[in-house]
């Protein structure tokens, strides 16, 4: 469930609206950048970033997940301190791992640019699972890079994740 104060920022998240207004990964990135650069986000960035994290941990609508994960990746790249808290990211790591480990057709899996979506810049024809997978890999890479995981933390990362990231 999306937090009520965050709903106006990301609605509508249904497939039809997303395919109409956010057809390419660049459009999605631009929309997320506009959200993150908005006055409300700049004034309340801590609270709104917590809302995005809680939405990522609870919402199972793949179209909402695509928007939320895109916002997390962009915000994390702009603010590495946001990625440092292991406690904040612990509930989200299994969800991201599920996206990484999702089986995709071989011809689709290689057509996605990490963290940006489809390599051909068109979201049309590329399953949302492939787009979510690329975002999850990008987020996990950034979290691992910033947090400098120790041996115990890396045990949560399975061999398939490491083979996708490195």
Is the per-residue pLDDT at 122 higher than 60?
no
| Residues spanned by the domain of 83 | 7-165
Q: What integer pLDDT is reported at residue 69 of this predicted model?
A: 94
Q: What integer pLDDT is reported at residue 17 of this predicted model?
A: 63
Both structure tokens of 7: 């709903």
Residue 2 lies in a domain: no
pLDDT tens-digit series, residues 70-116: 999 999 999 999 999 888 888 898 899 899 888 877 655 455 554 44
Q: What integer pLDDT is reported at residue 108 of this predicted model?
A: 52
Sign for the CA dihedral angle at 33, 146, 89, 85 comes to: negative
Residue 77 lies in a domain: yes
Both structure tokens of 166: 């490195």
Residue 97 lies in a domain: yes
Residue 133 lies in a domain: yes
CA Rg, the chain, in Å? 15
How many structural domains is the chain composed of?
1
Residue 1 lies in a domain: no
CB 13 within 8 A of CB 67: yes
Residue 110 lies in a domain: yes
pLDDT-above-70 percentage for the chain: 64
Residue 14 lies in a domain: yes
120 falls in which pLDDT band (50, 70, 90)? very low
Q: Is 125 exposed, middle or buried (0-12, 13-18, 19+ CB in 10 A)?
A: exposed
Residue 70 lies in a domain: yes
């Amino acid at each position: 469930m999306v937090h009520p104060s965050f709903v106006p920022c990301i609605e509508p998240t249904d497939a039809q609206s997303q395919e109409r207004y956010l057809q390419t990964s660049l459009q999605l990135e631009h929309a997320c950048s506009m959200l993150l650069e908005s006055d409300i986000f700049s004034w309340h960035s801590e609270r709104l970033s917590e809302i995005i994290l809680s939405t990522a941990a609870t919402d199972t609508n793949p179209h909402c997940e695509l928007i939320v994960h895109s916002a997390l990746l962009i915000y994390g790249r702009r603010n590495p301190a946001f990625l440092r808290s292991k406690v904040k990211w612990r509930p989200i790591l299994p969800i991201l791992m599920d996206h990484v480990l999702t089986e995709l057709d071989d011809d689709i899996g290689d057509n996605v640019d990490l963290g940006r979506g489809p390599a051909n810049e068109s979201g049309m024809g590329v399953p949302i699972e492939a787009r979510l997978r690329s975002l999850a890999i990008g987020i996990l890479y950034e979290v691992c890079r910033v947090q400098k995981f120790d041996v115990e933390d890396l045990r949560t990362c399975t061999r398939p994740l490491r083979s996708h990231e490195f």
